[in-house]
Amino acid sequence: MTDTKTIRIMIIDDHPVVRVGLASMLSTQPGIQVVGSASGGLEALTLLDTIAPDIVLMDLRMSGMSGLETIRAINLRLDPPRIIVLTSFDTDEDIYQSVGAGAQGYVLKDTPQDRLLEAIHLVHAKKRYFPADIAARLTERMARSNLTPREHQVLQLVAKGLTNKEIGRVFGISDNTARNHVNSIIDKLEVSDRTEAATIAMRQGLVSMTD
């Protein structure tokens, strides 16, 4: 049976051109109504007090309140709208964290219009939408999510090229303990050596090289 209910959408993105473009495109689609837009998380939460969207389309990287914080805050509300992340960022960690925060879909901004509309309709139907390549990477990332907090810290330093001795000095532990942490990371990431571990970590967004 076809659901004829109009899908009410709110857009959250800190780029005005993106908001206007999305609203213009979606407003031409039958059965879809754009009921509001916001430039960031705080504005969106205020707007949600006055409108009741079925779907929130939102960016992940925004100034002020982050996308992840916004997703979590929306999902704390009574009868929250369903959330589709629409972003340019596609590291494994971005995808993993978004799903963990409560997003029901993940779509890249260069996705064809028909795929975005498919995502909207599926998520509105209480399903999830992840393109095949993103779904596969999400599954792989979830399988590799068992690093301890200390191993995440050690991996950050491995990615920066520090030796076991240097890592030991940073954390005030012995060279042998540092080596054990590195070996555990290699085992859990199912890689052959520390260089491959660093490469995988940077590709998946497990570490940041901005410091």
pLDDT value at residue 1: 35
Element (H or E) spanning 154, and its range? helix 149-159
Give the separation between CA 92 and CA 192, rounded to whole angstroms.
Answer: 20
pTM over the 0.75 mark:
no
Instruction: Indicate whether 48 pLDDT > 50.
Output: yes
The answer on pLDDT for 183 being more than 90 is: yes
Tell me the percentage of the chain whose pLDDT exceeds 70: 92
Domain architecture of the chain: domains with CATH = 7-142 (3.40.50.2300), 145-204 (1.10.10.10)
Q: Where are the alpha helices (DSSP H) in 14-89?
A: 16-27, 41-47, 67-75
Mean pLDDT of 160-176: 93
Is the pLDDT reported for residue 148 higher than 70? yes
The CA distance from 15 to 5, in Å, is 29
Q: Do residues 126 and 176 lie in contact, with contact meaning Cβ atoms separated by under 8 Å?
A: no
pLDDT(3) > 60: no
Would you state the pLDDT for residue 2?
Answer: 41
With bands split at pLDDT 50, 70 and 90, how would you rate the model's confidence at 192?
confident
